[in-house]
């Protein structure tokens, strides 16, 4: 999977921030499937249908994944498109409401019912499975290294030894850095934009993050440079409230359907595929 991100086009993606914690996506037509089976009264799917909107915990500032277009007011990107397809499947309309989440707030938002799902490059780990149910994985990435353009001395994970390395708080990058370079000094920031800013301000020698996110960052910021290949395998899952086995199975069935129909591949081509050369990768195998 790592080599799919080896080459990045010269195109740029604008980054925007919007005040407030949530934004509703306007209803629109979609070519996605709609679930035609029976739904149990009081189930998660039933509640979403009655509400008429799918509430998603995610980002509005992640280019290629989930970013708010300041002109159209529409979320664009791979995660955003999958969110619309899931809403279409559940309620017959791709109507979603985004609640901005961070690595620290994702689990509370699921636990208290503020959101129905988390779609935010949410890596599946054994520790997280104890607190969150996961559908998927719906995508696979890996931890990679970014440096300031022109910087030297770091080309592989072991080169992080003794260096100051930036990472997102509560992300798999932290464990990956400790394993690859135990003597590295890790500095944590709450969000990807904060991590990028810290790297550009020389508050660290390198930034370790999911490669999909770093590719998006580098596609819009010429000051960043990716080095080497991913050194972990990180499967992204759709976060669901812990214990909701019925909804987890429902979302997994939907994922299989859009993979078989080619809608998953179309979503990739319209987002990540705009800066990555080659055909869409094979979707990862869904695990129970």
Band of the pLDDT at 277, cuts 50, 70, 90?
low
pLDDT value at position 73? 87
| Cα separation, 244 vs 199, whole angstroms | 39
Distances (CA, A) of 81 to 56, 137, 241: 12, 16, 21
Q: What value does the mean pLDDT of the chain take? A: 87
Residue 144: pLDDT over 80: yes
Give the mean model confidence (pLDDT) for residues 34-43. 93
Residue 20: pLDDT over 60: no
Least-confidence region, from 56-70, 184-198, 238-252: 56-70
Six token digits for residue 272: 């990540």
- Give CA torsion, residues 112, 22, 59, 193, to 10 deg: -110
Alpha helices in the chain (DSSP H): 44-51, 78-91, 106-111, 126-129, 172-180, 192-200, 211-220, 245-261, 263-270
Residue 197 makes CB contacts below 8 A (sequence gap 6+) with none
Residue 32: pLDDT over 80: yes
pLDDT value at position 200? 97
pLDDT value at position 147? 95
pLDDT tens digits, one per residue of 90-120: 999 999 999 999 888 999 999 999 999 999 9
| Cα separation, 101 vs 109, whole angstroms | 8
Give the mean model confidence (pLDDT) for residues 215-220. 85
Give the mean model confidence (pLDDT) for residues 55-74. 90
> Could you give the percent of the chain with pLDDT greater than 90?
66
Residue 112 makes CB contacts below 8 A (sequence gap 6+) with none
Residue 145: pLDDT over 50: yes
Taking alpha carbons only, the member of 122, 104, 120, 124 closest to residue 188 is 104
159 and 153 in contact (C-beta within 8 Å)? Answer: yes
Residue 174: pLDDT over 70: yes
pLDDT value at position 272? 85
pLDDT value at position 2? 38
pLDDT value at position 124? 92
Q: pTM of the prediction?
A: 0.76
Sheet containing strand 54-58, edge to edge, reads: 22-24, 96-100, 54-58, 117-123, 234-241, 132-141
| Cα separation, 122 vs 144, whole angstroms | 16
| Phi/psi at 135 (5° precision) | -95, 150
Residue 29: pLDDT over 50: yes
| Cα separation, 132 vs 124, whole angstroms | 9
Six token digits for residue 44: 């998660």
Band of the pLDDT at 41, cuts 50, 70, 90?
very high
More confident residue, 25 or 257: 257
pLDDT tens digits, one per residue of 152-168: 899 999 999 999 999 99
pLDDT value at position 146? 94
Taking alpha carbons only, the member of 142, 135, 139, 167 closest to residue 44 is 135
pLDDT tens digits, one per residue of 194-210: 999 999 999 999 999 98
Q: Which of 27-41, 59-73, 157-171 has the highest mean pLDDT?
A: 157-171
Residue ranges and CATH numbers for the domains of the chain are 2-141+235-274 (3.40.190.10), 143-227 (3.40.190.10)
| Cα separation, 234 vs 248, whole angstroms | 20
């Amino acid at each position: 999977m790592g080599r799919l991100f080896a080459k990045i086009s010269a195109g740029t993606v604008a980054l925007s921030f919007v005040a407030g914690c949530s934004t509703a996506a306007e209803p629109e037509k979609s070519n996605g499937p709609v679930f035609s089976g029976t739904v149990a009264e009081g189930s998660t799917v039933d509640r979403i249908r009655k509400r008429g909107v799918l509430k998603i915990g995610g980002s509005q500032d992640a280019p290629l994944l989930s970013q708010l277009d300041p002109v159209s007011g529409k979320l664009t990107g791979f995660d955003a498109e999958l969110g619309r397809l899931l809403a279409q499947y559940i309620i017959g309309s791709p109507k979603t409401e985004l609640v901005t989440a961070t690595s620290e707030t994702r689990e509370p938002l699921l636990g208290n019912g503020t959101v129905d799902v988390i779609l935010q490059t949410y890596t599946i780990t054994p520790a997280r499975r104890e607190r969150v149910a996961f559908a998927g994985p719906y995508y696979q990435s890996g931890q990679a290294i970014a440096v300031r353009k022109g910087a030297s001395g770091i080309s592989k994970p072991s080169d992080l030894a003794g260096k100051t390395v930036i990472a997102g708080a509560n992300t798999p990058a932290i464990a990956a850095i400790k394993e690859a370079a135990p003597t590295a000094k890790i500095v944590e920031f709450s969000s990807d934009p904060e991590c990028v800013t810290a790297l550009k301000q020389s508050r660290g020698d390198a930034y370790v993050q999911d490669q999909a996110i770093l590719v998006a960052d580098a596609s819009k910021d010429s000051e960043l440079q990716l080095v080497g290949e991913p050194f972990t395998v990180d499967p992204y899952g759709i976060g669901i409230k812990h214990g909701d086995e019925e909804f987890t199975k429902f979302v997994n069935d939907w994922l299989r359907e859009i993979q078989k129909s080619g809608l998953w591949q179309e979503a990739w081509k319209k987002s990540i595929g705009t800066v990555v050369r080659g055909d869409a990768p094979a979707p990862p195998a869904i695990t129970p």
